[in-house]
Amino acid sequence: MTAMQHVSLGAHYAVHLPAPDDFAFWRERARGLVQCDVPPDRVSWIEPGGTGDLFASEGPSRGEKRLPPPPADPRAVRASQRFLTVARSAALHSDPARFGLLYRVLWRLQRQPRLMEDKADPEVRRLEELAKSVRRDAHKMHAFVRFREVQEEDATPHFVAWFEPDHHIVRAEAAFFMRRFANMRWSILTPRGSIHWDGEVMREGPPARREDAPQGDPVEALWRSYYASIFNPARLKVGAMLSEMPKKYWKNLPEAELIPQLIAGAQAREAAMVRAGEREERARPASLAEVAQGAAACRDCPIADCGTRAVAGEGAPGAALMIVGEQPGDQEDIAGRPFVGPAGQLLDDHLTRAGIDRQAAYVTNAVKHFKFVWKGKHRLHQSPGAKEIDTCRWWLEAERAIVQPRLVLALGASAARGLLGKTVSITRARGTPMRLDDGTELWVTAHPSYLLRLEGEAREAQARLFASDLAAVKERLGELEEANSRSP
Ligand code: URA
């Protein structure tokens, strides 16, 4: 019997997901079902512990067996990049109807390839809402996980945190904590499962109870002083504060005790932070395309009105290496692509010699617009000021959050400032990796246009240093790659 016959006889299929966050499994099954023309109302998606469907098979293995065999000449399944991005997040939502919704939208995409652009479509809207609320939950997990130190028998410090996510985000967020606290031994316990990192290997464990996590120890004092120093009075708007830090998290947060004191001193600082507050409240772009559109429309600093266009970064989300330059030059501004002019050519030569594949990296700039002055018919490059770099940091951070590189390479002082939010000396910073605020490794080197401005022996000496920095980056990338392939 062929798949099509199954359908015409009204067969109903039950797909039992091995885990509530297994997007890859859903994707593979959904592709197969679309290829066999199984309409959404003939499929039930069942999570572990979920109840089956009256008309479908009851047991997991029986349900799987009843899926139709793939057709001999499977057709391509259409799924836009936007759909995949949104679907990956939405699949982690706790709504039991999410996998059915994902399949309905995938099914419709076969006939309406631009469906995801229809923001008025109720199913697209619902999918976007699910994805947004999962992103929010992840953001809260990043912000509100608090480790408490426990001494193990072998006297190695072990940091344990308790967190209550709304959605199935724990496994998906493990990499964030691994990067941020790479050298610590830690566990995050949640009612949806736990993750454990021993400095080398990530393990998963069963759901935990609040009592399983330690409470109250010296690490809290550290968090309290950290929180007081970064306290943002703009968040004092009660509504914003409640939505940013819902009360349900307060009981786990030692710094919540400080809030009354902090409120008292907050008003004076608030005015200066209004603008920053507005930016914080702006929705973070969810894709590189949104970053490109947002940066093109951004008028937060005067450079934006200078050049022809904003030059977006280039490369894939998930690239292990992110290379950050200063700002587009004359040729980049014309071409709309980063590092295509003389500095780009020099960079390309050095990357090739170091064995770094530019195509596999994500290449961008700290500032997205070209700043220049006219000299006759020529546009002369002007370095961006600290304020301009800091303003554009919003976009750089958004790119970094989407790409999630393992290692970031800053070319020159402006790039380093864009990433660190402060000025560092290239001479002092080069050669030794630093950590960005989420734990990502940052390497700093000179800007290739600095080499272009030098001559003779000085240029050769700088070229040797540049080559040796790139060689170190290449080596480190290999190590990180290997560590990553060893973790589950
Ligand atoms: N210099 C940069 O910093 N970036 C470019 O894209 C080109 C030149």
Ligand 1 contact, 341 CB (< 6 A)? yes
Question: How far is ligand 1, taken at its centre, from the CA of residue 339, in Å?
Answer: 5
Question: How far is ligand 1, taken at its centre, from the CA of residue 449, in Å?
Answer: 8
More confident: 338 or 258: 338
Pocket test for ligand 1, best of 449, 453, 466 (most atoms within 8 A of CB): 449
More confident: 198 or 261: 198
Mean pLDDT of the chain: 82
- pLDDT reported for residue 2: 35
Determine which of 11-25, 152-166, 367-381, 387-401 has the lowest per-residue pLDDT on average. Answer: 152-166
**Integer Cα distance of 336 and 311 in angstroms:** 5
The one-letter code for the residue type at 201 is: V
Residue 61 has pLDDT above 80, yes or no: no
Ligand 1 contact, 343 CB (< 6 A)? yes
Residue 66 has pLDDT above 50, yes or no: yes
Structure tokens at 323: 């290379």
- pLDDT reported for residue 154: 63
Phi, psi (rounded to 5 degrees) for 119 = -70, -15
Residue 187 has pLDDT above 50, yes or no: yes
Sign (positive or negative) of CA dihedral 313, 175, 471, 427: positive
SS3 content of the chain, % helix, strand, coil (to 5): 50, 10, 35
CA 392 distance to own-chain centroid:
18
Determine which of 256-260, 281-285, 465-469 has the lowest per-residue pLDDT on average. Answer: 256-260
**Integer Cα distance of 47 and 110 in angstroms:** 25
Q: Give the model's confidence band at 50: pLDDT under 50 very low, under 70 low, under 90 confident, else very high.
A: low
More confident: 227 or 209: 209
Determine which of 163-167, 194-198, 301-305, 361-365 has the lowest per-residue pLDDT on average. Answer: 301-305
Over residues 230-236, the mean pLDDT reads: 45
Determine which of 11-15, 366-370, 448-452 has the lowest per-residue pLDDT on average. Answer: 11-15
In terms of phi and psi (left: phi > 0; alpha: psi -120 to 50; beta: otherwise), the region of 49 is left
- pLDDT reported for residue 76: 87
Over residues 332-347, the mean pLDDT reads: 96
Question: How far is ligand 1, taken at its centre, from the CA of residue 445, in Å?
Answer: 14
Domains defined along the chain, listed by start? 3-136 (no CATH), 146-212 (no CATH), 219-276 (no CATH), 301-486 (3.40.470.10)
pLDDT per residue as tens digits for the range 109-152: 999 999 999 989 999 999 999 999 999 999 888 877 877 877 66
Q: Which residue has the tokens 């401005």?
A: 453
Question: How far is ligand 1, taken at its centre, from the CA of residue 328, in Å?
Answer: 4
pLDDT per residue as tens digits for the range 267-316: 434 433 444 555 555 678 889 999 999 898 888 887 877 777 899 999 98
**Integer Cα distance of 318 and 85 in angstroms:** 12
Burial (Cβ within 10 Å: 0-12, 13-18, ≥19) of residue 153: exposed
